[in-house]
Amino acid sequence: MTDLLLGAVAYDAKVVPIWDGFREFFTSNGLPFDFVLYSTYERQVQAHLRGEIDVAWNSPLAWIQTDRAARAEGRRAEAIAMRDTDRDLTSIVIVRSDSAIHAATDLRDKRIGVGAADSPQATLIPLASLAEAAIEGRVVRHDVLLGKHGDHIGGERDAVRALLAGTVDAACIIDGNRLAFVREGLIGATGPTAVRVVHQTAAYDHCNFTVLLDPSPPPLLGRFRELLLGMSYEDPKLRPLLDLEGLKAWLPGRTEGYAALERAVDRFATNPVFA
């Protein structure tokens, strides 16, 4: 039987042990499974549309790219599953605690440090959220590994470093990274490296497993989804993989959480800053 072939983007070295481990799980449970790694989501999306992979582990932006391209061809894309941690994220805009900026409206015309140009969480969604409130500043990008859609945390870290160095007035990061950066010692709970949150976006969703239903769904899709959703954090072989991938449980996919990013993509599609 032909393997169910999954595509994932190699945004970090840990991607290899994660998918090697999952491959072992799937195959030992009777699902012929293999994976292909791509250097960028754009390459993965194109390969998916060409039918070279059955399932794509997509960033939210890659989901939108796939969904829109599929629709243009009269095909349907479906988000079949996602991590529990992919649901209801927010992005925040932070300033230094000694900053004169106290409200989002104070950000007008200020230097706003963002992550990579293609990062939904550190660039597109927070900037769109500000723009929808009629707040626009001077965008300072921190392009770490373009094509990875911000999966690499380095862009956000660089934006925060720029904030602390005073080369930007605000920085956009994903909500959970504020605590992560405190643990790293990059920002402090108090003192000169402490930060304040001056804006928080509405909740949105992040990655998903995307399949194309046309011309026909992948033959082994049902078993893949069943095994995926059945993975238990209590399984000692799976737990290290789930920890690496950052989840406790896989959940069914949903797409209503991508509305904010859809609007952001529409808003910035023609903006040369994001070219």
Question: Which residue number, 76 or 237, has a Cβ lying nearer to another protein?
Answer: 237
197 contributes a contact to another protein by CB under 8 A: yes
- The per-residue DSSP string of 236-263 comes to TTTHHHHHHHT-S-EEE---GGGHHHHH
175 contributes a contact to another protein by CB under 8 A: yes
Residue from 90, 119, 121, 210 in contact with another protein (CB under 8 A): 90
Choose the binding region for another protein from 40-48, 85-93, 218-226, 261-269 (rule: CB under 8 A).
85-93
CA angle 144, 7, 44 (to 5 degrees): 55
Residue from 74, 185, 215, 236 in contact with another protein (CB under 8 A): 236
92 contributes a contact to another protein by CB under 8 A: yes
Choose the binding region for another protein from 2-10, 46-54, 139-147, 195-203 (rule: CB under 8 A).
195-203
Coil vs helix vs strand at 23: helix
Distance (Å, whole) CA 85 – CA 89: 8
Query: In what order do the strands lie in the sheet containing 195-200?
Result: 138-140, 111-113, 170-174, 91-96, 195-200
Choose the binding region for another protein from 16-24, 72-80, 124-132, 239-247 (rule: CB under 8 A).
239-247
Distance (Å, whole) CA 87 – CA 204: 7
99 contributes a contact to another protein by CB under 8 A: no
| Residues 18 and 170 sit within 8 Å (Cβ to Cβ) | no
166 contributes a contact to another protein by CB under 8 A: no
248 contributes a contact to another protein by CB under 8 A: yes
Least Å distance, CB 175 to another protein, is: 4
Please count the residues of this chain forming the interface with another protein, following the rule CB under 8 A: 26
For residue 70, which of 213, 203, 228, 274 has the smallest C-alpha distance? 213
List binders of another protein among 6-45 (CB under 8 A).
none
65 contributes a contact to another protein by CB under 8 A: no
104 contributes a contact to another protein by CB under 8 A: no
Q: Where are the beta strands (DSSP E) in 59-115?
A: 77-83, 91-96, 111-113
| Mutual angle of helices 154-165 and 175-184, in 10-degree steps | 70
229 contributes a contact to another protein by CB under 8 A: no
Chain residues that interact with another protein, rule: CB under 8 A: 84-85, 87-90, 92, 174-176, 178-179, 182, 189, 196-197, 200, 233-234, 236-237, 239-240, 246, 248-249
